């Protein structure tokens, strides 16, 4: 259920959650690390963050759930987040964007993964605020694809613990983009399967699958197109030491944008192929029925002539009249089939 209309008439600064109805408790996790140390803990209340964020190292505050207005407002007040950014965080239908402030970077994108059904992608808003050595992430619901990043931090794999918060932000966005690539590959597989189904035996179910995939591709396009603009801005605004990583993200997104254009053209072609296949099958059925009708027209004529029951019909009193008429009908049918075959109508 959406609460989009509940914001009507409210003044600036009034926080209202816009998205699916949720009731679970918002979870706040804190990860802090330096080159030589790491700690991880759960935060019960936003006010507990006041004394939980160290002054050294990198701190990652991970918030699962943006539906509780009091929690989001409390985090915003404690960290000094502007209320307009909090509105963007709580509006899960907002367009992906990036905002560069004097002392912060705010990013809001769509995280996309295939759920239980390989034919329907799951879209979730992901918001990220980077302010100095602090990075705060907001997600709609528990569960995310960032466990590999957490493991790299916990076990000091790679260079993550020796880099700044902007590099951690890159790692998180990189996971999201990797999922985009996986979803894109999944769409390509579905298109191949649909093409085989259309060529083999198109049905109404096939048409529904084509239309549903077109809808998924449109939603994917709405998510990935703005993300390219986001990464283009970030590669200019972030520290030069991590700028090349964001530039690499932009290249990946550009490649998937081009793939998406190809997929959309393929879907249009696939829909045309579906209608053409149906027309071909209909024409094939009509062709068979027309041939059958054509064959039986003269046979019906003969049967009609000898079914008129006139008294003076010489063949009616002939001993072999019945068999002669059947033989003529059979020869006529065979002759017409041979004629149709030679004309390549069969």
pLDDT tens digits, one per residue of 31-41: 999 999 999 99
Q: Phi, psi (5° rounding) for residue 62? A: -110, 120
Task: Identify the CATH number of the domain defined by range 4-276.
Answer: 3.30.460.20
Alpha-carbon distance values, 313 to 28, 130, 198, 317, 332 (Å): 102, 104, 57, 8, 22
Q: Phi, psi (5° rounding) for residue 16? A: -135, 130
4 pLDDT more than 70: no
Indicate the range of 64-78, 242-256, 310-324 predicted with least confidence: 310-324
CA-closest candidate to residue 68, choices 96, 101, 35, 28: 28
Architecture of domain 280-342: Up-down Bundle (1.20)
pLDDT tens digits, one per residue of 205-260: 888 888 899 999 998 998 898 888 899 999 998 888 899 999 999 999 999 999 99
Write down the pTM of the prediction: 0.79
**Does 81 or 171 have the greater pLDDT score?**
171
Report the alpha-carbon angle 325-329-332, nearest 5: 135
346 pLDDT more than 80: no
pLDDT interval class at 102 (50, 70, 90): confident
Enumerate the domain spans of the chain. 4-276, 280-342
Report the alpha-carbon angle 154-159-160, nearest 5: 50
DSSP H helices, the chain, are 69-79, 83-90, 147-154, 165-200, 204-237, 240-305, 321-342
Alpha-carbon distance values, 131 to 29, 55, 91 (Å): 17, 13, 21
2 pLDDT more than 60: no
Average confidence (pLDDT) over 72-87: 90
CA dihedral of residues 15, 17, 22, 25 (deg, nearest 10):
-30
């Amino acid at each position: 259920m959406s609460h989009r209309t509940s914001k009507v008439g409210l003044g600036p600064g009034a926080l209202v959650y816009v998205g699916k109805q949720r009731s679970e408790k918002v979870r706040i996790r804190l990860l802090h690390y330096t080159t030589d140390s790491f700690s991880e803990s759960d935060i019960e209340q936003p006010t507990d963050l006041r004394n939980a964020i160290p002054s050294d190292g990198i701190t990652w505050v991970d918030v699962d759930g943006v539906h509780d207005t009091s929690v989001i407002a409390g985090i915003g007040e404690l960290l000094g987040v502007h209320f307009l950014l909090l509105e963007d965080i709580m509006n899960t239908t907002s367009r992906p964007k990036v905002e560069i402030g004097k002392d912060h970077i705010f990013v809001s994108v769509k995280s996309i993964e295939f759920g239980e059904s390989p034919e329907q992608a799951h879209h979730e808003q992901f918001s990220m605020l980077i302010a100095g050595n602090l990075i705060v992430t907001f997600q709609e619901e528990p569960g995310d694809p960032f466990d590999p990043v957490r493991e790299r931090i916990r076990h000091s794999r790679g260079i993550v613990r020796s880099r700044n918060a902007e590099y951690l932000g890159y790692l998180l966005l990189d996971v999201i983009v990797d999922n985009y690539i996986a979803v894109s590959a999944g769409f390509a597989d579905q298109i191949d399967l649909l093409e085989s189904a259309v060529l083999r035996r198109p049905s109404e179910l096939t048409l529904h699958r084509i239309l549903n995939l077109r809808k998924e591709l449109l939603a994917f396009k709405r998510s990935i197109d703005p993300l390219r603009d986001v990464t283009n801005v970030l590669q200019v605004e972030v520290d030069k030491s991590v700028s090349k990583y964001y530039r690499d993200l932009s290249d990946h997104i550009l490649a998937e944008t081009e793939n998406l254009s190809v997929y959309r053209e393929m879907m249009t072609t696939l829909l045309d192929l579906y209608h053409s296949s149906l027309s071909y099958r209909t024409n094939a059925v009509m062709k068979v029925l027309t041939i059958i009708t054509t064959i039986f027209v003269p046979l019906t004529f003969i049967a009609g002539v000898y079914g008129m029951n006139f008294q003076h019909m010489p063949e009616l009193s002939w001993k072999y009249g019945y068999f002669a008429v059947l033989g003529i009908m059979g020869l006529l049918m065979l002759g017409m089939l041979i004629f149709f075959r030679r004309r390549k109508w069969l």
